[in-house]
Homo-oligomer: A and B are copies of this chain.
Amino acid sequence: MPRSDNRLPLILDAAARLFREKGYAATSMRDIAAAVDMLPGSLYYHFTAKEDLLVAVYEEGVRLITEKVRAAVARHAEPWTRLEAAAVAHLEALLKTGDYALVVIRVLPQDVPKAAARLVKLRDGYDRLFSELVAELPLPPETDRQSLRLLLLGALNWSQHWFRENGRNSPRSIARSFLKLLREAQKP
């Protein structure tokens, strides 16, 4: 049975922050240990390898985004509104919730060969959520739904590279203007 002073959550937080800031390879176990005021070797009481630490962060990241998006979608009924709610939630999870979610889209599975399969599986599970939302949309039969999904999700994920919070810009406003651009294409 775990103790109440268990610092595993702190380790995960620090790892998520550092993996997001510097990437997986450039973050050392000593960096993470120092961030939680521990000795490097002590981390191995909680994780048997650096990759497992990444997988743990990844799992939590996917869990957080999925949860937020599911909750947001559930509040609406109209297909386009549901997709917009999902886009907003996705972007807010990425740009506001912070470290865990960003690690998921910033650290590439191929950078961690031994854990790649597990990471891809986690990502794919999440992708299916958006596939379902796009499938609901009332679209002209010639519209390519897969392209629509990839266009939206790609643009949302890429926003990490240029987004800076300020008065005019917010994750919500960006997601909305993206959706507006896509939505009007499919009206009669």
Contacts and interface: CB of A to CB of B under 8 A. Distances in A.
Contacts of A26: 25, 111
A182 interface: yes
A150 interface: yes
A79 interface: no
Interface in A152-185: 152-159, 161-162, 174, 177-178, 180-185
Contacts of A143: 181
Interface string A140-155: 0001100110111111
Contacts of A23: 23, 25, 108, 111
A30 interface: no
A158 B148 contact: no
